[in-house]
Amino acid sequence: MMTGYAITNRFIGSINDFLISLLLLAIFLFLIIKFIRKNNLNLKIVFGLIVYRLLFLLFLIFYAAKVGSFDGHGIYNNAGPQFEETLVGYNLKQFTGSFFLSILIRPLVEDLNLSYISVSLIFFYIGTFGILFCYSIYKKLNYDSNYIKVFIIAFCFNPALNIFTVSITKDTIIFFLTMFLFYIYFVEQLKLRKLLYYSFIPLGLIFFIRPYIGGIMIASFIPYYISNQRVTNIRNLIKLTLITILVILTFYISRNLYAWDHDGNLFEQLKNFIFRRQDNTNVGNTILNYERGEILIRFFQSIFGFGIYKSGFFAPVFLYDQILSIYLFLLIFLVKLNNFSNFKKLYFHDYEFLKYFIIYALFAYFICSISLSNFGLILRLKWMYWPILAFFILSLLSKHEKTS
C-alpha cells in the first residue's frame, strides 16, 4: 500500500476543499463557454474533449496509486509539509524544474489545503485551454479540406497529448504557455511590442520550469532578428549586439542550473549536456539505443519512433501518435500544395513574427531529438514544439486570408 502526502490527500475531503473546487469548476465552464463563442468552436468537439480528458485524469490518478509515484505526486508532496525538508540550500539550481512547480502550487496545497485531485483538476483546466488554444490556431487557417479537418480533430484527441497535459506536470504548464503566446499573436493578432509585454511572465515561468527551453526561446531571437534585416547599419548592429549580450547573459545566469552544469565554454557545455542526456535517457522499454554519432536517424525516430510500440500497456498511445505523424506528412500528397504562396504571405507579410515561433520550434526539436534516447520521453516533451511544426505544415496546405 502506497503512502505519502499526495496519496493520503488524494480525494476531495473537506468542505473548504470541495467548495473551492466547485468554484473553480464554475469559473472553468464559464470561461470555456466564452472561449467557444469567441472563437466559433464546435461545442460538441470541445465538450467531447473535456470528457475524454477527464477519463485520462481519473485513469492516471488510480493508475499512479497502483504502480508507483508519478511526477505529480512528488510535486504535490514537496508543496506540502515536506517543503522545508526539501530545502537543502538556497541556490538557484534548487528553485527550478519540478520544485519550482511545487513553489507555485504551495499556496494551494499548504494554505488552502487542497487535495491532490483538486490541484490536478486545476492543471486539467490549464491543459484543456492549451489544447483549445491549439485548436483555435489551426482553425484560424480557414482550412477547406476534409483531410485537414480530420487531422486537426485527431491531433486534439491524441492520447499522448492529453496524457501529458492532464495532471500536475511541467509539460502541462509549458504547453499551455507556449500555445497561449502563439494564440494571442496569431489569433488575437497582437502587435510585436504588446506580445513582448505579455510574454515577460510566461517566458520567465518557462525558464524556471525548464531552463534549456527558456534559453532556446531567448536564443531564437538572434536568428529571427538577423533574418528580418534587409540592410546593415549601425543601429541594427547595436540591436543585434544587445540581443546577443542578452542571450549570453542568460546562459551565464543559468550555467549553475541543471541544464548547464558542465565544464567548458558555451558550445562545450551544450555538447556535454546533450551527451549526458543521451546516456541518461537510454533506458526503459522505448529506448532508441543509438550511438552518439547517429544524428540523422534520431531526427527521424523522434517523430515516428518505428519499432517501439510492439508491446507494453502504452503501446496503443505510441502507435496512435506514429500513425498521426505519418498522416501529417501524407497530407502533402492528399491536399494540393499551394506552391509556397501561403508561406510567403503568412510568414513574410501578414504574420511576420510567425518566423520566430518556427525558429524556436525547430531549435527545440533539434535539441530534443539529438539529446533524448527514449521515445516515451520524446513523446512527452514534443508538445513544447510539435504543435507549432504541425501548424507550419498545415499552413502550406490551407487557404488563409488575414482578417482585419
Encode pLDDT of 156-173 as tens digits: 999 999 999 999 999 999
Instruction: List b or e across 287-299, with b for residues whose CB sees 16 or more CB atoms inside 10 angstroms.
Output: ebeeeeeeeeebe
What is the pTM for the complete model shown? 0.89
**Structural domain of residue 206, as residue ranges?**
5-395
CA dist., res. 114 & res. 108, Å (int): 6
Distance (Å, rounded) from C-alpha 351 to C-alpha 354? 6
404: in domain:
no
Judge whether 249 lies within some domain.
yes
**Helix segments in 157-233, DSSP class H:** 159-163, 170-186, 192-209, 211-219, 221-228
> What is the model's pLDDT at position 307?
76
Contact 302, 365 (CB under 8 A): yes
Q: What is the pLDDT of residues 46-85, one digit of tens each?
A: 999 999 999 999 888 887 766 656 778 888 888 877 766 6
Whether 400 is in a domain gets the answer: no
Distance between CA atoms of residues 353 and 221, nearest Å: 10
For 211, how many CA atoms within 13 A lie in the half-sphere containing its CB? 23
Say if 131 falls within a structural domain: yes
Quote the number of domains for the chain. Answer: 1
Residue 293 corresponds to which cell in the numbers above? Answer: 554519432
Grid coordinates 536564443 are at which residue? Answer: 219
Q: Spell out a b/e string for 276-285, using b for 16 or more CB atoms within 10 Å of the CB, else e.
A: ebbeebeeee
Say if CB 60 and CB 116 are below 8 A apart: no
Evaluate the CA torsion angle 45, 46, 47, 52 in order and state its sign. positive
Calculated CA dihedral for residues 235, 224, 211, 95, nearest 10 degrees: 50
Reduced to 3 states (helix: H, G, I; strand: E, B; else coil), residue 287 is strand
Q: Is 89 helix (H, G, I), strand (E, B) or coil?
A: coil
Q: What would the grid cell of residue 391 be?
A: 501548424
Tens of each residue's pLDDT in the chain, 404 residues: 345 666 666 666 678 888 999 999 999 999 999 999 999 999 999 999 999 999 999 888 887 766 656 778 888 888 877 766 666 655 666 778 888 898 899 999 888 888 888 999 999 999 999 999 999 999 998 777 888 999 999 999 999 999 999 999 999 999 999 999 999 999 998 887 888 888 889 998 998 898 888 889 988 988 888 887 777 778 778 888 888 888 888 777 766 665 555 566 667 777 777 888 888 888 877 888 887 778 888 888 888 888 776 666 788 888 999 999 999 999 888 887 665 666 777 777 778 888 999 999 999 999 889 888 888 888 999 999 999 999 998 888 876 655 44
Contacts of 242 (CB under 8 A, 6+ apart): none
Give domain status of residue 102, yes or no. yes
The answer as to whether 403 is a domain residue is no
232 grid coordinates = 546593415
Count Cβ neighbours within 10 Å for each residue of 110-139 and write b for 16 or more, e otherwise. Answer: eeeebbbbbbbbbbbbbbbbbbbbbbbbbb
Q: What percent of the chain shows pLDDT beyond 90?
A: 34
Q: What is the pLDDT of residue 96?
A: 81
